[in-house]
Structure 1
Amino acid sequence: MGPTFCPSRAVMLIVCFARQPPSPLAPFSFCIIINLEQLARDDEERIRVGDSKPTIQIVSWNARSLREKVAELNALIERLQAPEIICIQESHLLKDSQLRVRNYVEHRQEVAQKNSPGLSILIREDLNYLPVRSITGPFLNYQSVEVYVGRTKFLLTNSYLRNNPKHHLHEDELRAKLERPNHILVGDLNAHSPAWGNGKSDWAGQTIEKLTLDLGHMIENTGEPTRLATTANQKHTAIDLTITSSDFTYPVVQWEVFEDSLGSDHLPCISTLIGSNNKIETHPPSLMFNTKKANWAEFQKLLNDVGPTRAICNHQHCENVLREIKSAALEAIPHNQHQRKNKKNNIKYSLTTNKILVGRNLSKRSKRKKNST
């Protein structure tokens, strides 16, 4: 059986799973009426009311062109049992390149200029995230997202720093990326220092080591090499780093290197975030779908590609069907994420600031009275 559908007003969909071949007496085996935004809110509510996940797994990997390594990426996901987040450096994906990874949403920094490496963050669909900033530069490239897990959130940055940036990059630029609060930064920084397992030190390594000490941050690397030697004159090096801020919400980060480079010269680095110190009451961003610009043919094709659909007979299968519909909608229907506005800002001001605000308000009131008279 394969799905057909009827797009209706707003974000309501009627998805019908038809018999193959269709029967004149029973053309549809069953129909589901779905509100896409409600489906997204239901997922959000399930996350919000539950406790924070005890562990989150983040994989960082310089793929050296993901275009030829999609099969290897899927193998990595299967072997690690679907990690929550995968950060890719040197993806080499152009604007029109398609990357479909089942049960993941991609946030991409395309190859915008010659020799630009390209970055991608793959986030599992059961997590909410909010893109913060993406910068493509001649030497430093990075993309940042806020990740929402239950009642916690943290900032994640996927980064790539070219070799020998000494005369092209100022220390303050690196400081600005590292000093953000509640932050984990991963990526290929091409930085050498004995502090994390290299036999020599360079400008990038010395600068990052100095900044992390100044800021009280932690470099989570254990000294294991992350890049493999490709010639007899080279040595294995540790240049892919994971850096956490001093106030990072997860108190324990277990860092390890995956044993297979999967066709790249870099080994995937795995950071397992354990526990959480920071429980917040802010709501994760909700999805909003623009059905007027939806690619309905692509939506139907994605559902057809799922394969034969059995009769719905249990709760788990219902969940699977809804998950496939949501995954297809995320691929084929334009959407964005928005943050709910707090009804009230509970800000505590100092005594001096309070006096300034009171004086300003009195001045505004007197001006209004003069204008009214």
Structure 2
Amino acid sequence: MISRHTVHHSRTTPNPTNNFKCLQWNARGLTKAKLEEFRQFLSLVKPEIILLSETHWKKSFYVKFKAYHILKKNRPNRSGGGVAILINKQLSFTPLPLTPHDTVEAIGVSILSRSNSKIDFISAYVPKGDCEMADVAEIFNRPNPAVIGGDFNGHHDMWESNATANKAGKTIFETILNSQDICLITPNDLGTRIDPASGKISTIDLTMTSSELATSATISIGPSLGSDHLPIFLTLNTTPARISRQPPKWIINENKWADWNHLLDTALIELKFSEIQNPEAATTAFMTGLNGENEKCFKKSNPSRARNSEPSRPWWNAECNTLVKNARIALKNWCKSPTSLHLRTEWKKAEALKKRHIIKAKKEAWSSFISNLGPQDQPRLWTFTKSMLGKGSNLSPDGPLISNNNTTINSPKEKADLFLDRFSSVYPANLPTNDHFYATINSNITSTTHNILNDPITPEELERSLPKSKSKADPPTTPIQHPIYEIPFPSTVEGINRATPPKTRQESRGPFIVPPNLTHFMPLQDHGKSNRKPPTLVPRVQEQNQ
């Protein structure tokens, strides 16, 4: 048995490079306006783990977060209660098998750290302040380093001055004393709950950690979020293992295009790329040369640096921020004079006004958007819908604005025009001519032996390419309407041939070479003639002109 003095409160500042931010909160019902305010709060503070208690979620209630996985345990047989844990989607975790008890509601996960060790996080709630020691001991005695937080409804003078200990408080205190490793890190009189009737402040939301985590943990109180419990911030000196959903990307340096092109040509010649007949071997050789020269000329992004965070609500306006601030100020004023009925009434009014406006702002955003929809606004509809549901960060249906010669461009048609006008004539003058590959390609095109450059495109290949385009219509028969290209498309699939190069208006001056940074052309729709559907992809233009 360890001594009473082992139960301590740590305020040591952790290593800032290993800050792992957690949030603990008794929501007292996380739905409607309170849920929307909570989402906006997460977009600002960006915690990695959130321990929730008293969610009051029912089985039929569905909630989703863009940046977090949700593990929840709703109360099955009556309303109220419920615990949940939100885990950032970049973290690797496994659920903990916890035995359900009548006196303690709990749910847990195990997070993997960079050292391949695990840290257990448990969200707990003791509904009536009446829990058995065996039930609490099962939660506290963990094989891994642990963080345990929740509303225990326990009063004890160890964490609350002049408090009369109740059963839950005595049980938790004795369990901590009997534990081999668990330490209470909640400071004395932290003040985690404000009684909405009397204004009395108490500390019943507790946080326990293993000793190795407690020595460098910090804990603090956050602002009011509409519950009678205040959120608690916990920072740990640990580094979790992160997974990235985005692959690394090459950071292109345009000043090195000429060097890259020359090095790639040399590498492919050394690999005898043009002489390889097997498609798989050719792909392997090309990727080997490509990746090797990329590493010499360009840098690669590090996706692990990016933090996956909850996006802000698209309809959350300045008035929402003002009303949230006013409600918090009104609560502080009442807490200074809890016997004042006037200040309590002002706080209640501020809370009600805040909630009404949050719901109103969300409804008005939907109504305003829907009323302005037209028959051609399907992409805009889905963009806005995803933003409202917390998917995606670009709130503009047409993408970001482009400034060109002090003129703002937002129309997709104008953007495509600008793109083609800018890049159609861009080609570095110092790039060497690929005489070796040009001769090989021309030889294969004119050869009577079947090869990849003179075989007709099959219907199967066309079917595979259609899902990648915006439209699944039949191949058009009209040319692309732009000065740099006039590509007549045949009326049948069998008529499309890889050996048919695009006709350009520069034929008399030699072959047209596509710049390396212009990989796809996006032809513009002719809005004056609805029956003309330009293609979304020029087949193999760059392949033939490589």
Q: TM-score range by the shorter chain?
A: 0.5 to 0.7
- Is residue 2:142 matched to residue 1:180? yes
Displacement of 1:231 in angstroms is 1.9
Structure index of larger Rg: 2
> Alpha carbon RMSD of aligned pairs, Å?
3.2
Q: 1 CA distance for matches of 2:236 and 2:219? A: 9
- Is residue 2:153 matched to residue 1:190? yes
- Is residue 2:42 matched to residue 1:112? no
- Is residue 2:210 matched to residue 1:245? yes
Q: 2 CA distance for matches of 1:264 and 1:135? A: 29
Q: How does 1:62-101 map to 2 (within 5 A)?
A: 62-68=26-32, 69-80=34-45, 82-101=46-65
Q: 2 CA distance for matches of 1:153 and 1:96? A: 33
What is the DSSP-based 3-state SS (H/G/I as helix, E as strand, rest coil) of the residue aligned with 1:194?
A: coil
Q: Normalising by the residue count of structure 1, what TM-score does the alignment of the two structures yield?
A: 0.57
- Is residue 2:190 matched to residue 1:231? no
Q: 1 CA distance for matches of 2:135 and 2:228? A: 28
For each residue in 1:23-71, what CA deviation from the matched residue of structure 2 results, as whole angstroms up to 9, or x when unmatched?
xxxxxxxxxxxxxxxxxxxxxxxxxxxxx97011111101010013111
For each residue in 1:188-223, what CA deviation from the matched residue of structure 2 results, as whole angstroms up to 9, or x when unmatched?
000111111242211211221122122242111112
Kindly tell me: are residues 136 and 67 of structure 1, through their superposed partners in 2, closer, same or farther at Cα, counting changes over 3 Å?
farther
Structure 2 alignment gaps of length 5 or more = 1-15, 246-381, 401-546
Contact kept in structure 2, 1:60 and 1:270, CA below 8 Å: yes
Q: 1 CA distance for matches of 2:232 and 2:164? A: 21
Contact kept in structure 2, 1:110 and 1:119, CA below 8 Å: yes
Tell me which residue corresponds to 1:267.
Answer: 230
Q: Which has the higher strand share?
A: 1
Q: 1 CA distance for matches of 2:140 and 2:243? A: 25
Q: Relative CO higher for 1 or 2, CA cutoff 8 Å, sep ≥ 6?
A: 1
Displacement of 1:157 in angstroms is 0.5
Q: 2 CA distance for matches of 1:89 and 1:106? A: 13
Contact kept in structure 1, 2:56 and 2:81, CA below 8 Å: yes
Contact kept in structure 2, 1:144 and 1:156, CA below 8 Å: yes
Q: 1 CA distance for matches of 2:54 and 2:139? A: 19
Contact kept in structure 2, 1:104 and 1:125, CA below 8 Å: yes
Q: 2 CA distance for matches of 1:78 and 1:219? A: 29
The one of 93, 96, 121 equivalent to 1:156 is: 121
What letter matches 2:95 in structure 1? P
Q: 1 CA distance for matches of 2:99 and 2:35? A: 25
Contact kept in structure 2, 1:53 and 1:149, CA below 8 Å: no
What is the DSSP-based 3-state SS (H/G/I as helix, E as strand, rest coil) of the residue aligned with 2:173?
A: helix
Displacement of 1:92 in angstroms is 1.0
Displacement of 1:89 in angstroms is 0.6
Q: How does 1:1-373 map to 2 (within 5 A)?
A: 54-68=18-32, 69-80=34-45, 82-134=46-98, 136-151=100-115, 152-165=117-130, 169-181=131-143, 182-198=145-161, 199-215=163-179, 216-223=181-188, 224-232=190-198, 235-248=200-213, 251-258=215-222, 260-275=223-238, 302=386, 306=392, 307=395, 308=397, 310=399
Q: 1 CA distance for matches of 2:17 and 2:95? A: 21
Contact kept in structure 1, 2:191 and 2:202, CA below 8 Å: yes
What is the DSSP-based 3-state SS (H/G/I as helix, E as strand, rest coil) of the residue aligned with 2:194?
A: coil
Displacement of 1:310 in angstroms is 4.7
Q: 1 CA distance for matches of 2:133 and 2:398? A: 56
Q: 2 CA distance for matches of 1:142 and 1:285? A: 27
Displacement of 1:251 in angstroms is 4.1
For each residue in 1:93-151, what CA deviation from the matched residue of structure 2 results, as whole angstroms up to 9, or x when unmatched?
12231212231111111231103511111111111111112555432100010012333
For each residue in 1:279-330, what CA deviation from the matched residue of structure 2 results, as whole angstroms up to 9, or x when unmatched?
9xxx99999xxxxxxxxxx9xx75996454759xxxxxxxxxxxxxxxxxxx
* Number of positions where the alignment pairs a residue of Structure 1 with one of Structure 2: 239
Contact kept in structure 2, 1:162 and 1:189, CA below 8 Å: yes
What is the DSSP-based 3-state SS (H/G/I as helix, E as strand, rest coil) of the residue aligned with 1:75?
A: helix
Kindly tell me: are residues 108 and 134 of structure 1, through their superposed partners in 2, closer, same or farther at Cα, counting changes over 3 Å?
farther
What is the DSSP-based 3-state SS (H/G/I as helix, E as strand, rest coil) of the residue aligned with 1:193?
A: coil
Kindly tell me: are residues 284 and 77 of structure 1, through their superposed partners in 2, closer, same or farther at Cα, counting changes over 3 Å?
closer
Displacement of 1:265 in angstroms is 0.3
Kindly tell me: are residues 103 and 53 of structure 1, through their superposed partners in 2, closer, same or farther at Cα, counting changes over 3 Å?
farther
Structure 1 alignment gaps of length 5 or more = 1-51, 288-297, 312-373
What is the DSSP-based 3-state SS (H/G/I as helix, E as strand, rest coil) of the residue aligned with 2:119?
A: strand
Q: 2 CA distance for matches of 1:92 and 1:135? A: 21
Q: Normalising by the residue count of structure 2, what TM-score does the alignment of the two structures yield?
A: 0.40
Contact kept in structure 2, 1:141 and 1:161, CA below 8 Å: yes
Displacement of 1:86 in angstroms is 1.0
Contact kept in structure 2, 1:159 and 1:187, CA below 8 Å: yes
Q: Which has the higher helix share?
A: 2
